[in-house]
Structure 1
């Protein structure tokens, strides 16, 4: 499923890959419409019917992930509202064990996320995730979402990498397809990103796992690339 011996760098998505996507699902589909209803004196149904289609219309764009954009569009403090339900932020199963094994293997680990820097800080405060990886890059630093083909070229500015020795792990098939098209040699899908939702079907061309315990044993057996590779 993963050829660990052929790798130098592992790019990791955050939400739905390392952290339970339930926090974000609950916020955008439940908490935000409810607080929007409170603010504008609407029924929960009216608020949801107004807010959710507006959000979905931006799917895949940088705006989709941008708290500044939604704070202005909805005239609400999105980061503040996210903090209200911050107790829902948490790791997916076996993630800390996987990250420890990744570090022990000698591979370079970089979180590559579409998360805006403001909620990113909130999530790092809650989890200490930044202490478990070598680097973190937000797509907002580059002005392009990971779904954008140009993102992967620009990523070299902040996290130089050799595409032929890099693995990308993500719960988004569209992101994985973008990474694959950019030449990243190995891609792996997460099929159970949200602890409160049903698991997803496999991608026809990209291998997938439900949880990291499926690949930790092979990672621990990794033999590094020969010197000079």
Structure 2
């Protein structure tokens, strides 16, 4: 496995994913795999097993498209108020590893710190407000502003048009391989793949190709010192 060792002398913009990079993906895994099926089953008088059977194909059918990340879309599909559900469990929002120390180090260094997320505004606002992070970012960019997910080249073009950044001297970290590939194709200078997005699960197992495709890190804290 190629370990991430950024060349900080060549980085002046740090672009970070939210879920699985800064914040623990355990929140989202619990929300989508446990809480939503439970409430869906209760609302429809189904067994939990039947609820999973109905929901899983719906999830997979639009994976890595913009609706996949939309609270509004899934509220309509499930008949549940997903924004309210996220608010109910907001205490579960937590940093992953030493990500907060990394963010503080980036800010202290004077580099630009951007949040670049596929999360719907309903989700990222609840989460950032819960952990008090919103003021830390110089830019907060959600794919829902641009009409395309980070997996798509149109996202990166739209981000550049609205918030110009020097791609060659930028670092981007994310836990999604399709997103990382899109960032690399766009020409982002340094890319870090997050290997352990969920603290309740072991680090992801990598194929031989994946292990060498990107520089991997178990957490942002491993990228210190700047």
Deviation at 1:157, TM superposition (A): 2.8
What is the root-mean-square deviation in Å for CA atoms of aligned residues? 1.1
**Could you tell me whether the CA contact under 8 Å between 1:29 and 1:52 is conserved in 2?**
no
Tell me, which stretches of 5 or more residues in structure 1 are unaligned? 220-229
> How does the TM-score come out when normalised to structure 1?
0.92
2:205 to 192, 197, 201: 201
2:141 aligned with 1:137: yes
Which SS does the other structure have where 1:110 is aligned? Answer: strand
Equivalent residues in 2 for 1:45-60 (5 A)?
45-60=49-64
Deviation at 1:139, TM superposition (A): 0.5
Partner of 2:173: 169
Partner of 2:224: 216
Which segments of structure 1 move beyond 6 Å, counting only runs of 4 or more?
A: none
Count residues with an aligned counterpart.
218
1:7 to 4, 11, 30: 11
Deviation at 1:213, TM superposition (A): 2.7
> How does the TM-score come out when normalised to structure 2?
0.93
Which SS does the other structure have where 2:162 is aligned? Answer: coil
**Could you tell me whether the CA contact under 8 Å between 1:99 and 1:133 is conserved in 2?**
no
CA distance in 2, matches of 1:147, 1:206: 16
Structure with more of its chain in helix, by fraction: 2
2:44 aligned with 1:69: no
2:155 aligned with 1:147: no
2:168 aligned with 1:160: no
- Which is further off, 182-191 or 200-209? 200-209
Tell me, which stretches of 5 or more residues in structure 2 are unaligned? none
